[in-house]
Amino acid sequence: MKVLFKMNFKYIKRTQALLLIVLVFDGSSLHAAEAKSGTSEIKMGKYTTLSGAVKRVIKINPGLEAKRSQYNAALQIPDQVGALPEPQLILNALSLPLDGFSLTQTPMTQLQMGISQQFPYPGKLDLQEEVAIKESLASKESIYSNSKSLIRQVKHLWWQLFYIDRALDTVESNMELMEEFIDVAETKYTVGQGLQQEVLLAHVELAKLEDSKIQITGMRERVEADFNALLSQDAATRVFINKNVDATLPTVQSLAQLVKQAHSARPEIRQAKFKIEASEGRVELAEKDYYPDFKLGAVYGWRKERTGLANVKFSMNLPFNTEKRQDRKKDQRTHELLNKKYVLADLKDSVSKEIAQAMADFDRASQQMLIYQDRILPQAEQTVDSMLAGYQVNKVDFLNLLRSQLNLFNFQTQYWQALSAANQAIAALEYAVGSEAIYEQ
């Protein structure tokens, strides 16, 4: 299905033309209507494309930059935890007599210098490095998660602005047409072919349209402020959305296919898997705490006027109190691992729910859009044409004509709303899956 976003204006211009022909407006009214139509197409500023907005938010969003800095910091950890502890320098004064601090008074007096190095039990350093790598990969996934969330927000706000602009166009065109209705009603009333109530009713409807325009304009200002804040733009920046956009709605994959794809593509799920792998490494580390760490050292003792002495040292910790330390730590790490697994299972259920809801929203909006495009709008236009013909020969009262025209504009507004909602649902679906490859090939 391929439509161009000018359909609304086709109905407006056609109805307007019918009024001009059937009701025989004077030349000055026709000239004024054409002038209004011409000026309504003038746009100031540069259009903000959806792709351009997405590129900007990915490039300069401060929250995303914070995630990148966090990931870069996490990248520095694996080398640190995988390296041996710093060696220790040993300086000793051994058997130094207190009565004179002489270095020659006793044969055992010596000044010692040496070095010692601690060696964690084999495999511990590799595991610590592996855990840190998994944590850094989890941090990297948070960048993707944040960026996809930002893209979804940009698309949501962009399509919301698109809908609001189309609603404003519809209201403004309706106001123009209502002013022409007022002219016609006043002319018929003047020549004795109409009622004063018709004129008053048209003025009331015009006032209601003016109120709608005020409300929609206020809504646009709020959405525009959100859009500018998201793109780190000045709050006063005017955002222009091009109305001539190709409205081809894609065919998405099945729910089962999308859920399966999300299990490998959704950043939060990948992040949870990396955290599980990190927790598994911590469990292995806790098991290695049952084994001792070692320390080796070598010391040279310098004795004045005597032969120097060499010393070699070896020590290790003795993990005897395992019930209060190692056992508790292993239980802690095991429960943390179970927690991560339960979080992943819950996340998968949540993602499946998100996908199903987005699919339902897309199906509903796309079906509504097709109904409005293929059935409701053409029938509403025919109704207005029929009412115009009947009003010309005084077989249809002005109220019914007015209602039919207002219904047509309401249906057009609902069409734009359905189109916007369908594209917002696509953005939500892409976010829920974690990929833009959600369409049938």
Which of 250, 255, 259, 247 lies closest to 360 in space, CA to CA? Answer: 255
| Beta pairing, strands 88-94 & 309-316 | unpaired
Q: Using CA atoms, how far apart are residues 435 and 149, in angstroms rounded to an integer?
A: 12
What pLDDT is recorded for position 194? 64
Q: Using CA atoms, how far apart are residues 324 and 289, in angstroms rounded to an integer?
A: 12
What pLDDT is recorded for position 19? 38
What pLDDT is recorded for position 296? 96
Q: Using CA atoms, how far apart are residues 130 and 282, in angstroms rounded to an integer?
A: 10
280-310 residue pLDDT tens: 999 999 999 999 999 999 999 988 878 888 9
Note the pTM of the prediction, 2 decimals. 0.79
* 296 backbone dihedrals φ, ψ, rounded to 5°: -115, 145
| Beta pairing, strands 110-119 & 88-94 | antiparallel
Lookup: tokens for 219 = 């809504």
Q: Using CA atoms, how far apart are residues 243 and 27, in angstroms rounded to an integer?
A: 31
What pLDDT is recorded for position 41? 31
What pLDDT is recorded for position 257? 94
What pLDDT is recorded for position 193? 67
Neighbours of 202 (CB within 10 A): 22
111-138 residue pLDDT tens: 999 999 999 999 999 999 999 999 999 9
Q: What are the Cα distances from residue 187, in Å, to 31, 190, 359, 384, 403? A: 18, 5, 53, 20, 20
Which of 359, 385, 401, 426 lies closest to 15 in space, CA to CA? Answer: 385
Q: Using CA atoms, how far apart are residues 50 and 420, in angstroms rounded to an integer?
A: 13
Distance between alpha carbon 244 and the CA centroid of its chain, in Å? 25
Q: Which residues of the chain have pLDDT under 50?
A: 1-45
In our burial notation (b when 16+ CB lie closer than 10 A, e otherwise), range 137-156 reads bbbbbbbbbbbbebbbbbbb
344-360 residue pLDDT tens: 999 999 999 999 999 99
Task: In the chain, count H helices and then E strands.
Answer: 12, 4
173-223 residue pLDDT tens: 888 887 877 777 777 667 776 667 777 877 888 888 899 899 999 999 999
The DSSP letter of residue 439 is B
